[in-house]
Amino acid sequence: MNPILLRRVAAISLSATALFVTSCASSSQNGRGAFLEKSWASTEFKQTDVQKKYSSVHIAPVDTSNLAKQDWWQSQNARVQSGVLKRDARKLAQQLETSLAREIRAYPGNRLSVVSRPGPNTLTIRMAITELTPSKAYWNMGATAAGFVVPGAGLLSMAGSGSIAVSGTLQDSKGKVASFSDRRSDPVSPVNLRSYEWYGGAEANIEIWAKQGAQFLNTPPGSTVKRTSGVTLNPF
């Protein structure tokens, strides 16, 4: 990729961000699950300090079996038959598992150990990737950069924006204590160079979930874990 063009793209005025930041969705709910689109917790779990009640966390293998039912996946017959998409999904599932475990261990003050199987005082996290649409750039780099100065062209190219969605449950020895689901589109930036990577946006969103998931487990009841903005000034 032309380094001169990259510098020109990255140097686009950041003041343009103010024109679209207000259009990005944000969560209005309160509580530890506020960073998710939908969340439920039992009355008891809402009042539970995870760090005090549990000694460990078990992250079950992330399920990707439902992705094959997506219209987009079904239209990619050759790739599905060759197993490429299934391997892609498994790779992202493993990223979610390992990134969440890493962020839990690294979180300041965390006392939860990450274990390979549940025990008496273990909170088990079960997750599934329920939607996965790859990023897809419809313009080449020159056309995309030029589009920012063409009147009426708009500041952002949302066509080709990828997305990823997850759902899951939290369980202990007594059963389910919480459930959640969330869907995120590729992070928005004045020029999103990650949109030129097949799953660049999905990988970025997985890292967001991992960080906020660790924060959730370390946040006392009554506090709020806010949803991160879908806007970034970093094009990479």
In this structure, is residue 133 part of a structural domain? yes
**What confidence score (pLDDT) does residue 133 get?**
84
Tokens of residue 104, six digits = 């839990």
Helix (H) or strand (E) holding 79: helix 77-82
**What confidence score (pLDDT) does residue 195 get?**
42
In this structure, is residue 4 part of a structural domain? no
CA distance 230 to 181: 17
In this structure, is residue 161 part of a structural domain? yes
What domain count does the chain have? 1
Tokens of residue 25, six digits = 């969705």
Q: State the pairing for strand pair 113-115/163-172.
A: unpaired
Contacts of 207 (CB under 8 A, 6+ apart): 99
CA distance 141 to 195: 11
CA distance 139 to 126: 38
CA distance 156 to 191: 7
Dihedral sign (CA 17, 22, 26, 28): positive
User: Torsion over CA of 206, 207, 209 and 212, rounded to 10 degrees?
Assistant: 180
In this structure, is residue 233 part of a structural domain? no
Residue 96 region, left (φ>0) first, then alpha (ψ -120 to 50), else beta? alpha
First-to-last alpha carbon distance for the chain, in angstroms, is 13
Contacts of 199 (CB under 8 A, 6+ apart): 88, 92, 132, 134, 135, 162
In this structure, is residue 8 part of a structural domain? no
Predicted confidence pLDDT, tens digits, the chain (236 residues) = 454 544 444 443 333 333 333 334 444 478 899 999 999 999 999 999 999 999 999 999 999 999 988 877 777 766 665 687 888 899 999 999 999 999 999 999 999 999 999 999 999 999 999 998 887 643 333 334 444 333 333 434 444 578 899 999 999 999 999 999 999 998 765 444 444 457 888 999 999 999 999 999 999 999 999 998 654 444 44
**What confidence score (pLDDT) does residue 235 get?**
44
In this structure, is residue 205 part of a structural domain? yes
**What confidence score (pLDDT) does residue 186 get?**
83
**What confidence score (pLDDT) does residue 156 get?**
40
In this structure, is residue 199 part of a structural domain? yes
Q: Which domain holds residue 208?
A: 29-217
Phi, psi angles (nearest 5°) of residue 231: -105, 135
- Total-model pTM: 0.75
Name the residue among 190, 169, 154 with its Cα closest to residue 118: 169
CATH of the domain at 95: 3.30.160
**How many residues are given for the chain?**
236
Place of tokens 């032309």: 2
**What confidence score (pLDDT) does residue 225 get?**
94
